[in-house]
Amino acid sequence: MTAAFPATRLRRTRTHEWSRRLHRQTVLSPADLIWPLFVIDGEGVEQPVASLPGVSRWSVDLLLDRVGEASELGIPCVALFPNTPAGLRSEAAEEAWNPDNLICQAVRAIRDRYGDSIGVICDVALDPYTSHGQDGLLDEHGYVANDATLEALVKQSLNQVAAGTDIVAPSDMMDGRVGAIRQALEDAGHANIQIMSYAAKYASAFYGPFRDAVGSGDRLKGDKRTYQLDAGNSDEAMREIALDIAEGADSVMVKPGLAYLDIIRMARDRFDVPVFAYQVSGEYALIEAGVAANVGDREALVMEKLTAFKRAGCAGVLTYYAPFAARILNG
């Protein structure tokens, strides 16, 4: 029971900076951050993403410097996303399991230079490889075929693991994909490969800049509402998370992050697995637009939002601001 004023003055502990730090309940560190990086074909190529100010696509040789930067800043792992050349995209997404695709080239290069000193997460979904921009294979009616897609996702996952990835992160939202991937990993002797499942991925308006970055936005035919979650549903998100955990997910992702803090908190309270959030491209772009419009200081806006994710219960945050935030946190 709290004593009444003036015996209790809650402002006492806020009077000095040292005291505010001493009493801070939620603490953010570089170890809470994951840096998403976009990979592009070529050599010596940095290609800025117009809809994501300050974010670029990198050829593998330059990507290695970004990975080294992450390691030096104390960021524990990076997440890789390819911008597959147009000529390699197809209806059946065969490039996803090509052992020499952009992602596999990048993972092998990271392993060759940095060994096991930094973790690598690979996205498992077909949209960077399909000519139609959907996360799965289409049937004769144009519907994303769940079970046929599972076979493709398994091949994609095993291909990434063979290249040296540590974590496969299925973001496709097909039913049963975590179980199928987990069984395939076990059968292939990869018992220690983690699955970070995008278990609660919503059909969101915040994904536009990301789709530009991976080159799937102008190819997308239709939308993704038949497999991604409806923004009005929370109970369904809990069912998705429960199923993915039962099928073998080691951690789960809520995407987008800021608009779904309630989902993060519900998941953290209900399930005994780490919950991560993706501060998605649209959220990043909104902050940058706000800074440009003089809404607020970039450092203050970024750190407040990242702290909100941690306060909601996140084990970590996948964010394009990872190196920026890590430098601030490192002083």
Residues designated catalytic: 201, 255
Residue 194 one-letter amino acid: Q
* DSSP-assigned letter for residue 3: P
**Distance between CA 306 and CA 28 in Å, rounded?**
8
For the CA atoms of 160, 215, 118, 24, what is the dihedral angle to 10 degrees? -130
**Phi, psi for residue 133 in degrees, rounded to 5:** 80, 0
Return the sign of the alpha-carbon dihedral for residues 125, 213, 323, 17: negative
Report CA-CA distances (Å) from 276 to 90, 255, 261, 288: 31, 9, 11, 23
Find residue 34's DSSP bridge partners. Answer: 77, 318
The answer to whether 236 is annotated as binding is no
Question: 169: closest CA among 147, 189, 198?
Answer: 198
> Could you tell me if 66 and 22 are in contact, meaning their C-beta atoms sit under 8 angstroms apart?
no
CA distances from 251 to 109, 184, 279, 291, 305 (A): 26, 18, 17, 33, 22
Q: Is 205 exposed, middle or buried (0-12, 13-18, 19+ CB in 10 A)?
A: exposed
The helix/strand count (H/E) of the chain reads as 11, 10
Q: What is the DSSP letter of 209?
A: H
Extract the annotated binding site: 240
Specify binding-site residues for Mg(2+): 240
